[in-house]
Amino acid sequence: MSLETLPEPEIDPERSATELIRLEQVTKRFGDHTVLDRLDFSVDAGKHVTLIGPSGSGKTTILRLLMTLAKPDEGTITVAGQRLYPAPEKQVREVRKKIGMVFQQFNLFPNMSVLRNITEAPVTVLGLDRDEAEARARELLDLVGLADKCDARPTRLSGGQQQRVAIARALAMRPQVLLLDEVTSALDPELVAGVLDLLRDIARSTDITMLCVTHEMNFARDISDQVLMFDSGRVIESGTPEKIFSDPEKDRTREFLGAVL
Ligand SMILES: Nc1ncnc2c1ncn2[C@@H]1O[C@H](COP(=O)(O)OP(=O)(O)OP(=O)(O)O)[C@@H](O)[C@H]1O
Ligand SMILES: [Mg+2]
């Protein structure tokens, strides 16, 4: 069957009203190393879900699949009731617009001003006119406390400031889902709190769905509706932060938390 003629997934209407992201039986291999092993999980609209688990367990890989930076070998990924994988290229581009990501290493465009970093994708991908994109960018820079840095090059900013620009850049696309991959782990310790406070604000004041990978357990406890403990390519346990951090069911979760808390 060609991708163009693939049927849309059959989605239980009751489920699709609440589910924004769904991975079903997703397998991802690098060579003969199976990183994700028939992974199933979903994230409800408006919820904040945190992925925890040991290094190398595949957390970043999940976010990269959602960003379409990598493709699964098997399984399906659905976002807001529409297939992201497998799907025809045009549909992938449409669905992909619903998703924003902030990376550990900021990944700003070094040769563009801060303002241009934020306006580039809204102009080229969403087709906003430049004035409108700039107005939106200035509002966002105000939100992240960097209104005075519009014309600066990213290399002139501190790591914390660069990460706040990266957050503004992701929000400029008005995503339904924000993916956050260890966004404070490359920062000097004194800059971490500012970025986490900004994210707490965003979590509180918007209805953006968040899927977050973090080693900041206090932050995870504060913002998460649900925590997924991830190991060997599978979700081995999930629950509220209170449950997972205070009274986990699985020995593996207890052992992991013992090492990181
Ligand atoms: N492009 C790639 N080519 C080959 N192997 C890869 C590639 N990307 C990831 N891997 C492997 O997949 C596994 C999962 O990597 P991933 O980056 O998803 O882990 P992680 O849970 O995010 O780890 P960390 O907590 O250290 O960031 C690792 O064993 C990694 O070496
Ligand atoms: Mg990672």
Distance 148 CA to ligand 1 centre (A): 37
pLDDT (tens digit, 9 = 90+) per residue, 173-193?
Answer: 999 999 999 999 999 999 999
Assess whether pLDDT exceeds 80 at residue 11: no
- The answer, yes or no, to whether the previous bond of 86 is cis (omega within 30 of 0) is yes
pLDDT (tens digit, 9 = 90+) per residue, 128-161?
Answer: 999 999 999 999 999 999 999 999 999 999 999 9
Assess whether pLDDT exceeds 80 at residue 196: yes
Distance 139 CA to ligand 2 centre (A): 31
Structure tokens at 229: 């403990």
pLDDT (tens digit, 9 = 90+) per residue, 157-168?
Answer: 999 999 999 999
State residue 145's pLDDT score. 95
Confirm or reject: Cβ of 30 under 6 Å from ligand 1.
yes
Confirm or reject: Cβ of 61 under 6 Å from ligand 1.
yes
How many CB atoms lie under 10 A from the CB of residue 139? Answer: 13
State residue 4's pLDDT score. 54
How many CB atoms lie under 10 A from the CB of residue 123? Answer: 16
Q: State the closest ligand 1 atom to the C-alpha of 57, by its place in the atom list counted from 1.
A: 21
- Of 258, 229, 195, 241, the closest CA to residue 48 belongs to 241
Confirm or reject: Cβ of 60 under 6 Å from ligand 1.
yes
Burial 72-105 (b: 16+ CB within 10 A, else e): beebbbbbbbebbbbbeeebbeebbebbbbbbbe
- Report percent pLDDT > 90 for the chain: 92
* Smallest CA separation from ligand 1 atom 10, residue: 30
Nearest listed ligand to the Cα of residue 57: 1
Distance 221 CA to ligand 1 centre (A): 25
Confirm or reject: Cβ of 253 under 6 Å from ligand 1.
no
pLDDT (tens digit, 9 = 90+) per residue, 211-252?
Answer: 999 999 999 999 999 999 999 899 999 999 999 999 999 999
Confirm or reject: Cβ of 56 under 6 Å from ligand 1.
yes
Q: Model pTM? A: 0.93
Out of 29, 61, 183, mutate this one to test ligand 1's pocket (max ligand atoms within 8 Å of CB): namely: 61
Q: How far, in Å, CA of 183 to CA of 4, rounded?
A: 36
